[in-house]
Amino acid sequence: MATYSDFEAKAMAVTFADLRAHGLYELAAACDASAPETLAAWERTAKEQNREAWAAMDEPSLEYDNKYFDHRMNLIVFAMRRFDVDLATCTENGTLVWTYASADATAPGTGPRPAWWRLLERCCAVGESYSKSPHLMAWDLLCCVIAAESADSFTEACRTSYLNPDNTEAQAKLFVETATTAASRAGAAQCVLGLQEFPQAETPRAVVFEAAFRSAGFEVIRTARSAALAHRGFDGPGEVLAVGGDPERGTVNSAAVMRTLTRDADGEPKYDKKITVGFECTTALKILSVRLGGVVYHALHAKEPKTPAAVKLLVKFLITHAKACGAGPFVWLLDSNIAKEKLDEAFHAAVEENGLCVSRSVPTTSKRRSRLHGQCYDDAKCHKTVKGPKDKFVVAAGDTLELLPTVPDLADETHPVTLPRASWPTDHAFVAALYVGAAA
């Protein structure tokens, strides 16, 4: 935290004179003929408003930060991406971007400028991102200057970061040990894990995680997207019933199930565009349903329902999809994405009104945004800790759920924790429950 606070303080002190000294207009000239004047006009306007470089990084200036990704060099924002020098962009191969902060780093070109600057210049010359948005180049230059001026502390933070791919094996081991410890303490011979945002199939990170789970006796079933189920203690690999986005796997088409709820008999939407698109194009596709030991386990990553109507639609989908997968007991392992208290209460009410049982609400996410990102201007988002009871278990009435301690405990106000962090490198806590079906 002290390292980050130092970075932020330095960022807020950066002036236009500092950017000019670090070759702002040389880089602009490498973009196209109009970029220098665009930046000069921006600087003049900021100065008239008594704003220096950091304060000038407002929403209009950073409009394209989350839209343009190719041919950019930003030591902070893209620290853990790999940079292909020949292509002058981030790819799956190449050198980790953060390593270019070191004074010893090398890059093509000559002159007194450091390696990261020469790569930034190459991005200006080769790609279109900076010619389309010269302000974005100024932002990337500012971030690079901050990192390079604190190169020792910056590179040490990156070396030990949970985002560093060199630390993936230790992270996978941590997750597996947490799951097996929870099962052991609960005396559970069988264990099912619903995994969301699981590493993309066949990537180096996915290979490491899958190997770690299998080494602990888990079978791993995954979708082509981000949902996965890991299980152990069952006879056989399980019967795959539904895979969101891949109707050829399994017997239930989750997208078709969703459309029976979102559209009328004529195929017209019954909800507004945001709800319809969110549920049809995200919720219905981020699901995996597998029958294990006579119970159907559904792992679902829902699009955030932002209205009571959307919350009720989510509950309807849970019920309708469970029925489509056949009679018998079921367990939903659900990332509801519901963070607001009133909507959480509405979800619980809708579940109970439909004769189901839901685990009690506990905080499972605790997020705090820094200012060193492309929404640095938004005071409503930066330096605000936001907790949410997003992760839940839903079962049939009569079944038993005993919620186990979350890891880490986000409800402990005396020792507040935000995620992700080095000791728990993901943005959701590990949430576990002991499930006993009514027929057991």
- Look at residue 171 in the predicted model and tell me its pLDDT: 95
Q: Are strands 82-84 and 95-96 parallel, antiparallel or unpaired?
A: antiparallel
Cα(185)–Cα(90) distance, rounded to whole angstroms?
44
- Look at residue 2 in the predicted model and tell me its pLDDT: 62
Residue 71 binned pLDDT confidence (cut-offs 50, 70, 90):
very high
Q: Are strands 295-301 and 330-335 parallel, antiparallel or unpaired?
A: parallel
Q: Which pLDDT tens digit goes with each residue over 227-244? A: 999 999 999 999 999 999
pLDDT mean across residues, the chain: 94
First to last CA, the chain: 49
Q: Which pLDDT tens digit goes with each residue over 164-213? A: 999 999 999 999 999 999 999 999 999 999 999 999 888 889 999 999 99
Domain ranges of the chain: 2-160, 165-436
Q: Please state whether the peptide bond connecting residue 108 to the residue before it is cis, i.e. omega within 30 degrees of 0.
A: no
Which of the residue ranges 83-92, 287-296, 369-378 would you say has the lowest mean pLDDT? 369-378
Q: Which pLDDT tens digit goes with each residue over 90-100? A: 998 899 999 99
Q: Which pLDDT tens digit goes with each residue over 398-435? A: 999 999 999 999 998 888 889 998 899 999 999 999 99
Pairwise pLDDT comparison (369 vs 295), residue with the higher score: 295
Residue 306 binned pLDDT confidence (cut-offs 50, 70, 90):
very high
Alpha helices in 49-163 (DSSP H): 53-56, 115-126, 129-132, 134-149, 151-160
- Look at residue 294 in the predicted model and tell me its pLDDT: 95
Q: What are phi and psi of 244, to 5 degrees?
A: -55, 130
Inform me whether the pLDDT recorded for 394 exceeds 80: yes
Pairwise pLDDT comparison (407 vs 383), residue with the higher score: 407
- Look at residue 1 in the predicted model and tell me its pLDDT: 57
Inform me whether the pLDDT recorded for 111 exceeds 90: no
- Look at residue 440 in the predicted model and tell me its pLDDT: 62
Q: What are phi and psi of 15, to 5 degrees?
A: -110, 170
CA distances to 75, 299, 311, 312, 437 from 349, rounded to whole Å, are 47, 21, 10, 9, 22
Inform me whether the pLDDT recorded for 372 exceeds 80: no
165-436 has which fold?
A: Deoxyribonuclease I; Chain A (3.60.10)
> Considering the entire predicted model, what is its pTM?
0.87
Residue 224 binned pLDDT confidence (cut-offs 50, 70, 90):
confident
Which of the residue ranges 47-51, 215-219, 244-248, 292-296 would you say has the lowest mean pLDDT? 244-248
Contact 210, 228 (CB under 8 A): no
Q: Which pLDDT tens digit goes with each residue over 17-42? A: 999 999 999 999 999 999 999 999 99
Angle between helices 151-160 and 2-12 (to 10 degrees): 130
Q: What are phi and psi of 54, to 5 degrees?
A: -65, -45
